[in-house]
A and B are shown apart, each in its own frame.
Chain A
Amino acid sequence: DVKVTQSSRYLVKRTGEKVFLECVQDMDHENMFWYRQDPGLGLRLIYFSYDVKMKEKGDIPEGYSVSREKKERFSLILESASTNQTSMYLCASSFGGSLYNEQFFGPGTRLTVL
């Protein structure tokens, strides 16, 4: 059974703080993704990684960075959190090699920036 876990379910941070969101998958997936989910906007891709140390910008990368030092772990970093980054953050992973491979999602981290 595929498992994608995220380090926190809820997080409250202050404006200007550096924030780390961690994601771990246990299925040896090549691809990992970070999305943010906002009402009325669906899920939007922030960054993804198709291999260790590789990363590609998604549709809304501004204000975020990522790190993938190990295959199973993908971190999202908010260098200086701002109130407009208050959102639900979802991590996902999938096998590489095909467009049609299913993405498996974690339960999400609800981040509030005060």
Chain B
Amino acid sequence: QQQVKQSPQSLIVQKGGISIINCAYENTAFDYFPWYQQFPGKGPALLIAIRPDVSEKKEGRFTISFNKSAKQFSLHIMDSQPGDSATYFCAAIRKGGYNKLIFGAGTRLAVHP
């Protein structure tokens, strides 16, 4: 049973479009929500992260929106580029433990030129 539910499983976007990936969770003990980006043949790398006391965080073309009451958060990639084609994982970390990541199932993004 997936503690962090991620959708869609795959996404195709045209260059310049907006990519949106959604995640939802149930456990209110989660206290930190990072997103990881993974290119083929590489390990995941931290892209952007948010804490639940903030509703939005933006870094360049990447924005996390966080809705604490709905227990949902999403990644928006503005002006999507072919170089953004990768697999994206949302994750959550529980309060009070070591920084053990609980991952969503992943979204494979393809940005077409």
Q: Is the CB of B44 within 8 A of A105?
A: yes
For A, the interface residue count at a CB cutoff of 8 angstroms equals 30
Q: How far is the CB of A49 from chain B (nearest CB, A)?
A: 9
Residues B53-110 near A (CB distance < 8 A):
89, 93, 95, 97-106
* Identity of the chain A residue whose Cβ is nearest the Cβ of B95 in the assembled complex: A99
A107 interface residue per 8 A CB criterion: yes
For B, the interface residue count at a CB cutoff of 8 angstroms equals 27
Q: List 18 A-B contacts (CB under 8 A).
A: A4-B43, A40-B9, A41-B2, A42-B6, A42-B103, A42-B105, A43-B103, A44-B103, A45-B102, A48-B100, A50-B98, A92-B43, A99-B31, A99-B93, A99-B98, A99-B99, A100-B99, A103-B101
B residues adjacent to A (C-beta < 8 A): 2, 6, 9, 31-32, 34, 41-46, 49, 51, 89, 93, 95, 97-106
A residues adjacent to B (C-beta < 8 A): 4, 31, 33, 35, 40-45, 48, 50, 56, 58-59, 90, 92, 94, 96, 98-108
